[in-house]
Structure 1
Amino acid sequence: MADKDIKKSKKKSATVCGYPISIFFIVVNEFCERFSYYGMRAVLVLYFKYFLRWDDDFATTIYHTFVALCYLTPILGAIVADSWLGKFKTIVYLSIVYTLGQVVMAISAIHDMTDGNKDGTPDDMTIHVALSMVGLLLIALGTGGIKPCVAAFGGDQFQDHQEKQRSTFFSIFYLSINAGSLLSTIITPILRAQECGIHTQQKCYSLAFGVPAALMVVALIVFIVGSGMYTKTAPQGNILVKVCKCIGFAIKNRFRHRSSEYPKRTHWMDWAEEKYNKLLIAQVKMVVRVLFLYIPLPMFWALFDQQGSRWTLQATTMDGNFGILTIQPDQMQTVNPILILVFVPVVDSVIYPLIAKCKLNFTPLKRMTVGMFLAALAFIAAALVQIQIDKTLPQFPSSTVGQAKFINMINRPLDVKAGTNEFTLQPFRANEDYLNFDNKFELTLGPNATSEISLENGNRSTGVIVESGSSSQPTPIWFTDMKSKPEQGANTIRFLNGFGSVLNVTAGNLDFGVIDKNDMSNYVAVPQGLAKFQIKDDAGQCNYDYNLGFGSSITFIIPTTFTFGPDCGLSIHPVIDIKPNTIHMAWQIPQYFLITAGEVIFSVTGLEFAYSQAPSNMKSVLQAGWLLTVAVGNIIVLIVAEAATLSDQWAEYILFASLLLVVCVVFAIMAHFYTYIDPTKIEAQFAEKEPEDKEKRKSVEMTKKDSFEHRNEDRRSSDSSSDEEETAQSKI
């Protein structure tokens, strides 16, 4: 479009206190969009694990594939906006795509859309998986596509004399990003933790996705409402495409002229001189130097983005009781934005000035190296926490071993011999831990009752010992137990009825059902905190309170000696099959502290360095390159998650930390040989030579043209002489 047309598309917007009113709509739009994105992403890995029933590795792989796509699509969005649609239309159209994606995700999480089994888990997950994948693809296209447009569109609203206001706008803009991120990572985990459903009750992922979808609708409406007030700059061509074409021509031209007859050139980009001016080539050289330093950077993001995957899964095996409040595993991600708000001013106002006073040459590349080192330390801290968690986790049976525990429901001590294990069980008590059996074993109860038992490999079972028949011989009744940690930090509770009548047990709106004598109820998931159980029969009711932690599995024994009354709960005995989580979530704070400190030093400095070393018209190219490093980092995670055969999670943390330390050393060496430049001076030098270069190129082209015409004239002259000679010969 001509310059005249571009100017026509601009208009002066109404202002308040020197600021265009239009930026209000842009800031609100960004807040809602970031709330929508980070809110959905906060609960995403738990949705994969607990709703779609994927294992940790596959959930991590799909999570990081999604994040990688979110950071690949900005390149597409920038090209579409700058080359065809313009920023405004690109934001509107892709926001519609984005909103549809969020709505599809909310629909995919409605568990009552398919027939459910007795536990409320959908039998057929195909429709949920299909909708989830479609939703995530639309979200990745939408959020990535508008990412490079919104901030730049906000900058377009200011006139040239409003430089100060523009700077303030960007501060407010990035504050809205952090505010949206912080609030969403607090609120959506709370929404997820609610119970919802028509036929069955489950964790409410549909609500956790639905609220971000609603915020995205609000973001779209607010942005469109401000349409008449915006300054809209028409598309002027994408510099990224131009840079890629210049680099492509240089490489193509270099390989086309590989023979020794062509003179060597100082830099490989100089082979583009036949088509592009030296100023553009010099600018591309500066960009390429920075992009070369970007090569090691994806490894940092490979570690950083695991806060939403591996670290969140780690938090599900920890204790989130902070006294005055209870933290959900996915809410631990809020530590990062909170610390960012603290670290950024402290680092800029205190740390860097102190280092400068100590006269240390703490260059941007050295800062980035330190940031990478801190991220590696964060994963070492995560590994240490994981080792402590692993010590508290039960040893679940392998595929070749069966495990058994015994409960004595006879009102006298009982000697038990199970295989080579011998012990005495007191009345209404269980042995302390599960016993392992790799084949059939002989079970002896008391002096005379002996039987051969065969357990199913890979399972846990409880043998409830009761008196059976006229001889009152001790006999085991077998029940299947939990063979994995309860999900989402809940507690799986069941009741064993040794009382003389049928009982019904409830806990608020949770119903354990009718329990016959010497029978076991089904497991019921009960949340952390004080659980108030009501035990009833036709004759009376017993209120029994028990304080539950996170992730335990407990069998409550109601003995034959049980009686209703004020002290009825004293005779109920809990058997802890799986101990609650004992490692507190607060132990994750050091790793979040280190990774956030690394992010502030690495990310902020990296963007600052890139901007200082890039030509003024090519900063968007480096922004695209920066986002690409984030995408590649997430691809590294999904490769390692699928390829690594490490059975222990702490070992995987150490692997990532080791890889980043190696990359850190490589980056430090690259940084040592980097020479800082002033792009403005270099551009000025080539700008002065530009008219001279144009004359030279024009002269060369004219020379080529003259030479070409001269050769043609000679050829025509030669052809004419040949024709005359042939005519003469024919006459002869």
Structure 2
Amino acid sequence: MTAMAEDHGKTWFGQPRGLTILFLTNMWELFSYYGMRTMLVYYMTKHLLFAQEKASFVYGTYTAMAYFTPIVGGVIADRYLGKRNAVILGGSIMAFGHFLMAFESMFFPALATIALGNGLFLPSLPSQINDLYAADDPRRGRAYNVYYVGLNIGGLLAPLVCGTLGELYGWHYGFGAAGIGMFLGLVIYVCGRRYLPPEPPRLRVPAAAAAAPARTDPRVWWLLLGVGLAATIFRGAYEQIGNTLPLWIDGSVDRTLGSLVVPMTWFQSLNPLLVIAMTPLLLMYWRRRADQGRESSPARRMALGALIVAAAFVLLAAVAGSAGDSRVSGLWLVAFFVVLTLGELYILPTGLGLFAKLAPPRLGATTVASWFLAIFSGSLLAGLIGTLWSKTSHAGFFLLLASLAVLAAALLWRLDRPIRSLP
């Protein structure tokens, strides 16, 4: 057995060592991304003095482009660069973009640079997870939830570090910290290359596509398109947690804790903190159901998650409607994030895993990039919906978001049987 094979056979925490490397790399990438995203609308409205509608639209357009470029980046990785080179090049470009954010005059070029680098990085990293496991390995389905915890450790640290530096000491310090996080992720990835799966053959000629198995029949792509449409609608509601929700927290939530006024950005850590705390419990619950032969199909699990998220926004609508012009207790916000996070764990990691599972061989990065296309369109939708924030009541706005989540759940429910019928 070669040294490389021995390395791949060893585990950390019962999972292949490569999962830990991918876990930590994306943890720091998400630290940089969410560190910047946490401050973005706040920075535009309070420092650059953008109107709320303009700030929401810029936010939505930026997050959309950050998830559109992976479509092109996935093809480049599969055909030309390979996944490892794409991760390194994309991460380097993103780090440069984050450092550019420290210069006010470079605001829009910095956003474009980060989105460009993300296009190479984002589809190439998670698409390596599937290659760590044999096709019949029972750990593979749960690996995406484990990986999702890693993302949210970065999301937890980002508001506490970048948000605090930006809000209390200067925005440029916060943006600089985000760049350092991206650099740390690159160092971990390069140092852990020996534990990663080997590169599959690259698709350079059409003949390679013709050699793909029959699983690539058109039904797969149509069903993934339907799931992507449902994810787009869901994201139109979900992405408000980084768009309009910070504005509501800033203006309508009582943030005092004794003599301390809790920074708004700290509340953004509640979601990833709850992801970390709740994921092990959900995994144990799902494993017990699987052992009893009662495991839910991916589409049904996603539909249930969308309904739970809808319930979270109904809760906010009720709280905002009853409060009137008074500030609401921060405990209601905590309750909202508990319900929202539970729904998120049902839908988002499951959707990513479904796309990776149905991906044709040698098109892994491209297919995973298709999942990010749904995030692109959903972020655009979220930006457009965010422009309604100043034109309607807060309760009415939250009910609109709940309606979008219910619509996504209905579509996913209808797609469940056709997906289960696939060979």
TM-score (norm 2): 0.82
Provide the residue aligned with 1:369 in structure 2.
Answer: 303
**Residue 295 of structure 1: SS of its match in structure 2?**
helix
Which residue of 1 is the match for residue 268 of structure 2? 333
- The counterpart of 1:61, out of the listed 51, 57, 60, is 57
Gaps of 5+ in 2: none
Larger radius of gyration: 1
Contact 2:41 2:55 (8 Å CA) reproduced: yes
Equivalence map 1:584-603=2 (5 Å)? 584-603=329-348
Equivalent residue letter for 1:631: F
State yes or no: 1:671 paired with 2:421.
no
Q: Which residue of 2 aligns with 1:658?
A: 403
Contact 2:319–2:332 (CA under 8 A) maintained in structure 1 = yes
Task: Give the secondary-structure state (helix, strand or coil) at the position aligned to 1:391.
Answer: coil
Tell me which of 379, 383, 389 is aligned to 1:634: 379
Residues 650, 28 of structure 1: CA spacing in aligned structure 2 closer, same or farther, 3 A cutoff? same
- For 1:677 and 1:300, the matched residues in 2 are separated by 24
> Does the CA contact (< 8 Å) of 1:35 and 1:215 recur in 2?
yes
Q: How does 1:551-570 map to 2 (within 5 A)?
A: none
Counterpart contact for 1:367–1:601, Cα < 8 Å: yes
Q: Deviation digits for residues 180-234 of structure 1, max 9, x if unmatched?
A: 2211122222212324xxxxxxxx1111111111222333345455678977637
Shift, 1:139, TM fit: 0.9
Q: CA deviation at 1:103?
A: 0.8
On the 8 A contact 1:287/1:622 being kept in 2, the answer is no
Residue 15 (structure 2) pairs with residue 49 (structure 1): no
C-alpha distance 278-664 of structure 1, shift in aligned 2 (>3 A): same
Give the 3 Å change call, closer, same or farther, for CA 13–213 of structure 1 in structure 2: farther
Matched with 1:537 is none
Q: Specify the SS of the correspondent of 2:229.
A: coil
- Residue 68 of structure 1 deviates from its aligned partner by 1.0
- 1:220 alignment partner in structure 2: 186
Task: Find the partner of 1:342 among 233, 258, 277.
Answer: 277
Structure 1 match to 2:70: 74
Residue by residue over 1:76-106, the C-alpha shift from the partner in whole angstroms, topping out at 9 and shown as x without a partner, is 2211111112223222222221111101101
| Amino acid paired to 2:330 | M
Aligned match of 2:314: 380
Sort the Cα spacing of 1:222 and 1:107 in 2 relative to 1 into closer, same or farther, 3 A: farther
For residue 70 of structure 1, report the CA deviation from its aligned partner: 1.4
Contact 1:88 1:153 in 2 (8 A): no
Q: Give the whole-Å Cα distance in 1 for the aligned partners of 2:153 and 2:320.
A: 31
Structure 1 gap ranges (5+): 1-9, 109-126, 196-203, 247-275, 393-581, 680-732
1:178–1:214 CA distance, 2 compared to 1 (3 A): same
Identity of aligned residues (%): 22
Query: 1:90·1:146 contact (CA, 8 Å) conserved in 2?
Result: yes
Q: Deviations over 1:368-411 (max 9, x none)?
A: 2222222222222222233345422xxxxxxxxxxxxxxxxxxx
In structure 1, the partner of 2:240 is: 306
Q: Distance in 1 between matches of 2:5 and 2:418?
A: 45
1 CA distance for matches of 2:7 and 2:122? 26
CA distance in 1, matches of 2:19, 2:405: 40
> Are 2:111 and 1:136 equivalent residues in the alignment?
yes
In the alignment, the residues of structure 1 paired with residue 18 and residue 286 of structure 2 have an alpha-carbon distance, to the nearest angstrom, of 37
- Greater per-residue helix proportion: 2
User: Equivalents in 2 of 1:39, 1:104: separation in Å?
Assistant: 14
Partner in structure 1 of residue 155 of structure 2: 181
Where does residue 145 of structure 1 map in the other structure?
120
| Distance change (3 Å), C-alpha of 1:675 and 1:104 | closer
Tell me if structure 2 keeps the 8 A contact 1:11–1:231.
no
Cα deviation 1:336-373 (Å, max 9, x = unaligned): 1122123323233237846997x978543333222222
| Letter matched to residue 289 of structure 1 | L
Aligned residue identity for 2:376 = A
Aligned equivalents of 1:382 and 1:658: distance in 2?
13
Cα distance in 2 between the residues matched to 1:369 and 1:171: 17
Structure with the higher fraction of residues in strand conformation: 1
TM-score of the aligned structures, taking structure 1 as reference length: 0.50
Asked if the contact 1:364/1:605 (under 8 Å) is kept, the reply is: yes
Distance 1:599 1:168, change over 3 A: closer
CA distance in 1, matches of 2:102, 2:125: 25
How many Å apart are 1:25 and its aligned residue?
6.1
Structure 1 residues 384, 104: CA separation in 2 closer, same or farther (over 3 Å shift)? same
Distance 1:364 1:165, change over 3 A: closer
8 Å CA contact 1:28, 1:219 repeated in 2: yes
What residue in structure 1 maps to residue 219 of structure 2?
285
1:624 Cα deviation after fit: 2.5
Question: Match for 2:102 among 103, 106, 111?
Answer: 106
Say which SS state the counterpart of residue 12 (structure 1) adopts: helix
Per-residue CA deviation, residues 21-77 of structure 1 (Å, 9 max, x unaligned), is 887765543332221111111111111110111122221111121111111121222
Contact 2:148/2:349 (CA < 8 Å) preserved in 1?
no
Q: Which residue of 2 aligns with 1:209?
A: 175
* Cα contact 2:223–2:415 (8 A) shared by 1: no
2:35 touches 2:178 (CA, 8 Å); kept in 1? yes
How well do the aligned residues superpose, as a CA RMSD in angstroms? Answer: 4.0
Closer, same or farther: CA 584–623 of 1 in aligned 2, 3 Å: same
AA of the residue aligned to 2:299? L
Q: Give the direction of change, closer, same or farther, for the CA distance of 1:350–1:323 in structure 2 (3 Å limit).
A: farther
Q: CA deviation at 1:15?
A: 4.1
SS of corresponding position for 2:391:
coil
Alignment partner of 2:103: what SS?
A: helix
Looking at structure 2, the residues matched to 25 and 613 of structure 1 have their Cα atoms a distance apart, in angstroms, of: 24
User: Alpha carbons of 1:621 and 1:82: their partners in 2 closer, same or farther (altered >3 Å)?
Assistant: closer
1:218 partner letter: L
1:677 and 1:388, CA in 2 relative to 1: closer, same or farther beyond 3 A? same
Q: Is 1:18 paired with 2:14?
A: no
Tell which deviates more after alignment, 340-349 or 55-64.
340-349
Match for residue 702 of structure 1? none
Matched-pair contact (CA < 8 Å) for 2:73–2:123: yes
Aligned length, in residue pairs: 417
Are positions 1:236 and 2:210 aligned together? no
The whole-number CA distance in structure 1 between the counterparts of 2:138 and 2:212 is 34
Q: Which moved more, 1:294-303 or 1:647-656?
A: 647-656
One-letter code aligned to 2:415:
A
Cα deviations by residue, 1:585-610 (Å, 9 ceiling, x for unpaired): 22212221222121112223334445
Q: Which letter does structure 2 place at the counterpart of 1:371?
A: G
The offset of 1:664, in angstroms, is 3.3
Q: 1:630: Cα distance to partner? A: 1.4
Displacement of 1:315: 0.8
Q: Secondary structure at the match of 1:106?
A: coil
Taking the aligned partners of 1:16 and 1:615, their CA distance within structure 2 comes to 23
Which residue identity lines up with residue 182 of structure 1 in the other structure? L
Q: Whose RCO is larger (CA < 8 A, sep 6+)? A: 2
Counterpart of 1:598 in 2: which secondary structure? helix
Contact 1:298 1:629 in 2 (8 A): yes
* Cα shift at 1:307: 0.7
